[in-house]
Amino acid sequence: MSNRQMTAAFLMILMTAALIGCAGYAPEEIHYGTDQCDYCKMTIADQSFGSELITQKGKVLKYDSIECLAAADMALASKSQDVHSRWVTDFGQPGQFLDANKAWIVLAERQKSPMGIGLVAVSSEESAAKLVDDVGGRIVAWSEIKEIVTVAWKLENSN
């Protein structure tokens, strides 16, 4: 192997390691009743709503609700901090994290969430439709969730 080939091979190994490292970030278990919400500082208590945000550097931040995850996401974005991934809990399935990009989130009328807006996550469109049948409301997109939280908590005024 020539020097150049060696360098190329070494670079490939480094890049592969970096890729595996990135993909390796995963949500951490939430200790309900003990862990504190990184946004509102309340104890994370309800096992159906625990949420997490993982930064590009691999730091795992924990939240008691989708509301707080969305608010924290906007706060990080304003500080240009890159987000690796966002995680929400499958409603009624404690410990079952869903990638927020793949989860179906319902703005429920008759299902309380820890921070009061009524954001509930489930794993499929079918489950979301059933939830809407049960508790009213509608399916919302992540971009819309940010708007809903901004308006409900008057975030633009307080910043």
Binding interface with Zn ion (CB under 5 A): 37, 39-40, 64, 68
Q: Minimum distance from CB of 76 to Zn ion (Å)?
A: 14
Cβ atoms of residues 103 and 91 within 8 Å: no
- First CA to last CA distance, the chain: 59
Cβ nearer to Zn ion, comparing 37 with 122: 37
Q: Minimum distance from CB of 33 to Zn ion (Å)?
A: 14
Cβ nearer to Zn ion, comparing 76 with 129: 76
Cβ nearer to Zn ion, comparing 39 with 97: 39
**119: phi then psi, degrees, rounded to nearest 5:** -90, 125
Candidates 80, 66, 82; CA nearest to 116 is: 66
Q: Minimum distance from CB of 41 to Zn ion (Å)?
A: 7
Q: Minimum distance from CB of 38 to Zn ion (Å)?
A: 8
Cβ nearer to Zn ion, comparing 104 with 153: 153
Other C-beta atoms lying within 10 Å of the C-beta of residue 120: 28
Separation between Cα atoms, residue 47 and residue 89, nearest integer Å:
8
Dihedral of the alpha carbons of 70, 72, 74, 77, in degrees to the nearest 10:
-130
